[in-house]
Chains A and B, each alone.
Chain A
Amino acid sequence: DGGITQSPKYLFRKEGQNVTLSCEQNLNHDAMYWYRQDPGQGLRLIYYSQIVNDFQKGDIAEGYSVSREKKESFPLTVTSAQKNPTAFYLCASNQEGTGYGYTFGSGTRLTVV
Protein backbone atom coordinates (compact mmCIF):
# COMPACT_ATOMS: atom_id res chain seq x y z
CA ASP A 1 0.00 0.00 0.00
CA GLY A 2 1.19 3.51 -0.77
CA GLY A 3 1.65 5.90 2.08
CA ILE A 4 3.82 8.34 3.94
CA THR A 5 6.05 7.22 6.80
CA GLN A 6 7.47 9.36 9.54
CA SER A 7 10.11 8.15 11.94
CA PRO A 8 10.71 7.96 14.77
CA LYS A 9 7.32 8.27 16.44
CA TYR A 10 8.87 9.74 19.61
CA LEU A 11 12.15 11.63 19.82
CA PHE A 12 13.97 13.16 22.75
CA ARG A 13 16.61 15.81 22.29
CA LYS A 14 18.96 17.51 24.68
CA GLU A 15 19.15 21.27 24.55
CA GLY A 16 21.78 22.48 22.09
CA GLN A 17 21.60 19.38 19.86
CA ASN A 18 20.44 19.15 16.27
CA VAL A 19 18.01 16.37 15.41
CA THR A 20 16.64 15.09 12.09
CA LEU A 21 13.10 13.85 11.52
CA SER A 22 12.53 11.44 8.66
CA CYS A 23 9.68 11.57 6.12
CA GLU A 24 9.40 9.06 3.26
CA GLN A 25 6.56 8.61 0.75
CA ASN A 26 5.93 5.97 -1.91
CA LEU A 27 2.96 7.74 -3.49
CA ASN A 28 5.02 9.26 -6.31
CA HIS A 29 3.93 12.70 -5.14
CA ASP A 30 5.86 15.74 -6.34
CA ALA A 31 5.16 18.02 -3.38
CA MET A 32 5.99 17.50 0.30
CA TYR A 33 5.37 19.61 3.40
CA TRP A 34 6.36 19.93 7.04
CA TYR A 35 3.92 21.29 9.61
CA ARG A 36 4.34 21.89 13.31
CA GLN A 37 1.40 21.29 15.65
CA ASP A 38 1.12 22.91 19.09
CA PRO A 39 -1.93 22.73 21.37
CA GLY A 40 -4.48 25.38 20.44
CA GLN A 41 -2.49 26.62 17.44
CA GLY A 42 -3.40 24.24 14.69
CA LEU A 43 -0.86 23.27 12.06
CA ARG A 44 1.75 25.81 11.02
CA LEU A 45 3.80 25.45 7.85
CA ILE A 46 7.56 25.13 8.35
CA TYR A 47 8.90 24.28 4.86
CA TYR A 48 7.53 22.88 1.64
CA SER A 49 8.95 21.47 -1.56
CA GLN A 50 7.15 21.29 -4.88
CA ILE A 51 9.91 19.48 -6.75
CA VAL A 52 13.19 17.70 -6.13
CA ASN A 53 16.12 20.00 -5.27
CA ASP A 54 13.81 22.92 -4.53
CA PHE A 55 12.08 24.05 -1.34
CA GLN A 56 10.56 27.21 0.17
CA LYS A 57 10.19 28.60 3.66
CA GLY A 58 6.80 28.50 5.27
CA ASP A 59 5.53 30.67 8.11
CA ILE A 60 7.85 29.45 10.89
CA ALA A 61 11.08 28.34 9.17
CA GLU A 62 13.52 29.89 11.64
CA GLY A 63 15.57 27.24 13.43
CA TYR A 64 14.72 24.51 10.91
CA SER A 65 16.37 23.22 7.74
CA VAL A 66 15.32 20.73 5.03
CA SER A 67 16.66 18.99 1.95
CA ARG A 68 14.95 17.37 -1.03
CA GLU A 69 17.55 15.27 -2.81
CA LYS A 70 15.11 12.49 -3.70
CA LYS A 71 11.45 12.62 -4.68
CA GLU A 72 10.56 10.15 -1.93
CA SER A 73 12.29 11.85 0.97
CA PHE A 74 12.00 15.21 2.74
CA PRO A 75 13.93 15.18 6.05
CA LEU A 76 13.55 18.01 8.55
CA THR A 77 16.42 19.08 10.82
CA VAL A 78 15.54 20.90 14.01
CA THR A 79 18.63 22.93 14.88
CA SER A 80 19.81 24.31 18.20
CA ALA A 81 18.66 27.73 16.95
CA GLN A 82 15.01 26.65 17.36
CA LYS A 83 14.16 28.08 20.79
CA ASN A 84 11.09 26.01 21.53
CA PRO A 85 11.28 22.77 19.55
CA THR A 86 8.98 20.61 21.70
CA ALA A 87 5.98 19.89 19.44
CA PHE A 88 4.25 17.35 17.22
CA TYR A 89 5.66 17.40 13.68
CA LEU A 90 3.61 16.32 10.69
CA CYS A 91 4.80 15.59 7.18
CA ALA A 92 2.44 15.59 4.20
CA SER A 93 2.59 15.10 0.47
CA ASN A 94 0.42 15.65 -2.59
CA GLN A 95 0.66 15.40 -6.31
CA GLU A 96 0.65 18.95 -7.55
CA GLY A 97 1.65 21.42 -4.86
CA THR A 98 -1.83 22.88 -4.41
CA GLY A 99 -4.08 22.32 -1.41
CA TYR A 100 -5.71 19.24 -2.92
CA GLY A 101 -5.22 15.67 -1.85
CA TYR A 102 -2.85 15.95 1.09
CA THR A 103 -1.76 12.67 2.63
CA PHE A 104 -0.35 13.05 6.12
CA GLY A 105 2.08 10.87 8.01
CA SER A 106 1.34 9.80 11.57
CA GLY A 107 3.69 12.36 13.05
CA THR A 108 6.79 12.61 15.26
CA ARG A 109 6.55 13.93 18.79
CA LEU A 110 9.75 15.77 19.68
CA THR A 111 10.54 16.56 23.30
CA VAL A 112 13.50 18.58 24.53
CA VAL A 113 14.89 17.24 27.79
Chain B
Amino acid sequence: GENVEQHPSTLSVQEGDSAVIKCTYSDSASNYFPWYKQELGKGPQLIIDIRSNVGEKKDQRIAVTLNKTAKHFSLHITETQPEDSAVYFCAASRKTGRRALTFGSGTRLQVQP
Protein backbone atom coordinates (compact mmCIF):
# COMPACT_ATOMS: atom_id res chain seq x y z
CA GLY B 1 0.00 0.00 0.00
CA GLU B 2 0.85 3.67 -0.04
CA ASN B 3 3.41 5.08 2.38
CA VAL B 4 3.77 8.83 2.90
CA GLU B 5 6.76 10.24 4.74
CA GLN B 6 6.81 13.82 6.02
CA HIS B 7 9.67 16.06 7.22
CA PRO B 8 10.45 17.83 9.44
CA SER B 9 8.40 16.74 12.43
CA THR B 10 8.77 20.18 14.04
CA LEU B 11 9.59 23.55 12.49
CA SER B 12 10.11 26.88 14.22
CA VAL B 13 10.33 30.11 12.21
CA GLN B 14 10.26 33.82 12.92
CA GLU B 15 7.19 35.77 11.91
CA GLY B 16 7.57 36.92 8.32
CA ASP B 17 9.93 34.11 7.32
CA SER B 18 9.03 31.27 4.96
CA ALA B 19 8.31 27.68 5.99
CA VAL B 20 8.72 24.57 3.84
CA ILE B 21 7.40 21.10 4.63
CA LYS B 22 8.29 18.11 2.44
CA CYS B 23 6.61 14.78 1.75
CA THR B 24 7.46 11.71 -0.29
CA TYR B 25 5.09 8.98 -1.42
CA SER B 26 5.67 5.43 -2.57
CA ASP B 27 2.71 4.49 -4.79
CA SER B 28 3.19 5.65 -8.38
CA ALA B 29 -0.59 5.31 -8.88
CA SER B 30 -1.29 8.14 -6.41
CA ASN B 31 -2.65 11.16 -8.23
CA TYR B 32 -4.05 13.53 -5.59
CA PHE B 33 -2.07 15.30 -2.87
CA PRO B 34 -3.86 17.50 -0.31
CA TRP B 35 -2.46 19.41 2.65
CA TYR B 36 -4.37 19.78 5.91
CA LYS B 37 -3.98 22.14 8.85
CA GLN B 38 -4.99 20.96 12.32
CA GLU B 39 -5.41 23.27 15.28
CA LEU B 40 -5.36 21.96 18.82
CA GLY B 41 -8.37 19.79 19.68
CA LYS B 42 -9.92 20.12 16.24
CA GLY B 43 -10.24 18.06 13.10
CA PRO B 44 -7.93 18.75 10.14
CA GLN B 45 -9.00 21.28 7.51
CA LEU B 46 -7.96 21.29 3.87
CA ILE B 47 -5.76 24.26 2.98
CA ILE B 48 -4.54 23.42 -0.52
CA ASP B 49 -4.35 20.44 -2.84
CA ILE B 50 -2.71 19.44 -6.10
CA ARG B 51 -3.45 16.81 -8.72
CA SER B 52 -0.84 14.84 -10.59
CA ASN B 53 -1.31 16.68 -13.88
CA VAL B 54 -0.12 19.96 -12.29
CA GLY B 55 3.37 20.85 -11.07
CA GLU B 56 2.57 23.82 -8.88
CA LYS B 57 -0.42 25.55 -7.33
CA LYS B 58 -0.58 28.77 -5.34
CA ASP B 59 -3.23 30.35 -3.11
CA GLN B 60 -2.16 33.66 -1.60
CA ARG B 61 0.63 32.89 0.90
CA ILE B 62 0.61 29.13 0.44
CA ALA B 63 1.83 27.05 -2.48
CA VAL B 64 2.33 23.40 -3.22
CA THR B 65 4.79 21.86 -5.67
CA LEU B 66 4.77 18.31 -7.03
CA ASN B 67 7.59 16.31 -8.61
CA LYS B 68 6.01 13.11 -9.94
CA THR B 69 9.31 11.66 -11.14
CA ALA B 70 10.86 11.91 -7.70
CA LYS B 71 7.55 11.19 -5.95
CA HIS B 72 7.71 14.16 -3.66
CA PHE B 73 5.62 17.23 -2.96
CA SER B 74 6.12 20.26 -0.75
CA LEU B 75 4.13 22.92 1.05
CA HIS B 76 5.49 26.47 1.05
CA ILE B 77 4.14 29.16 3.36
CA THR B 78 5.48 32.68 2.84
CA GLU B 79 5.28 35.68 5.18
CA THR B 80 4.35 33.44 8.10
CA GLN B 81 2.08 34.78 10.83
CA PRO B 82 1.48 33.54 14.40
CA GLU B 83 -1.93 32.19 13.33
CA ASP B 84 -0.12 29.81 10.95
CA SER B 85 1.07 27.91 14.04
CA ALA B 86 -0.55 24.46 13.87
CA VAL B 87 0.12 20.87 12.82
CA TYR B 88 0.24 20.32 9.07
CA PHE B 89 -0.37 16.98 7.35
CA CYS B 90 0.30 15.92 3.80
CA ALA B 91 -1.68 13.08 2.25
CA ALA B 92 -1.98 11.08 -0.94
CA SER B 93 -4.66 9.04 -2.66
CA ARG B 94 -5.01 7.05 -5.83
CA LYS B 95 -7.65 7.04 -8.52
CA THR B 96 -8.41 3.32 -8.44
CA GLY B 97 -8.44 0.54 -5.88
CA ARG B 98 -8.27 1.81 -2.31
CA ARG B 99 -8.80 5.53 -2.76
CA ALA B 100 -8.91 6.65 0.88
CA LEU B 101 -6.31 9.20 1.92
CA THR B 102 -2.99 8.04 3.38
CA PHE B 103 -1.49 10.69 5.66
CA GLY B 104 2.03 11.70 6.58
CA SER B 105 3.11 11.87 10.21
CA GLY B 106 2.59 15.62 10.56
CA THR B 107 4.72 18.73 11.09
CA ARG B 108 4.24 21.00 14.08
CA LEU B 109 4.89 24.56 12.86
CA GLN B 110 5.59 27.25 15.44
CA VAL B 111 5.73 30.85 14.25
CA GLN B 112 7.54 33.05 16.76
CA PRO B 113 6.26 36.64 16.95
Contacts and interface: CB of A to CB of B under 8 A. Distances in A.
Nearest to B90: A42
B1 A59 contact: yes
Interface residues of B, number: 28
B95 interface: yes
B43 A33 contact: no
Interface string A89-103: 010100001111110
Interface residues of A, number: 24
B100 A48 contact: yes
Interface string B5-18: 01001000000000
B44 A43 contact: yes
A92 B93 CA distance: 15
Contacts of B103: 35, 42-44
A42 B43 contact: no
A94 B91 CA distance: 15
A2 interface: no
A104 B1 contact: no
